[in-house]
Amino acid sequence: MTQPSPYKSTGGLLRIARAFGYSLQGLGAAWRHEAAFRQETVLAAILIPLGLWLGDSAVERLLLAGAPVLVLAVELLNSAIETLADAIGTDYHPLLGRAKDIGSAAVLLTLLLAAAAWAAVLAPRWWPS
């Protein structure tokens, strides 16, 4: 029988509390080390309240306020990929470059999705058909 990993928690409320703490550490690390995350966080701090104010329905508010949150989540994943790639080595390797490029593409697609969500909700108000 395989021994359980000493790095894996067993569960319970303590696990939830620790996981929350690790999440806060991750947000702090992203804020300190990732300029793109800081820029997107500032943008989200503007867009989330604006989206809650501009949305006419719960669905519109969810789309407008949720889109920037999704961008932040994908940026965090991209930053994690880049951090791991840099930890492996700073010398160029095509697979590490590919991993970073794919992560960056994920952020781009999420930014485009966020822009499309905002346009889909707000454009009909300014340019009625």
Binding residues for ATP: 15, 22, 34, 82, 100-101
Per the annotation, where are the binding residues? 15, 22, 34, 36-40, 61, 75, 82, 100-101, 104
**Per-residue 3-state assignment (H helix, E strand, C coil) for 47-103:** HHHHHHHHCCCHHHHHHHHHHHHHHHHHHHHHHHHHHHHHHHCCCCCHHHHHHHHHH
Could you give the C-alpha distances from 6 to 9, 10, 16, 81, 98, in angstroms and in order? 8, 10, 17, 24, 32
- Residue in 44, 47, 75, 78 annotated catalytic: 75
Q: Contact, 71 vs 111, CB < 8 A?
A: yes
Q: Is 60 a catalytic residue?
A: no
What's 3's DSSP letter? Answer: P
Per the annotation, where are the binding residues for substrate? 15, 36-40, 61, 75, 104
Please identify every residue annotated as catalytic. 75
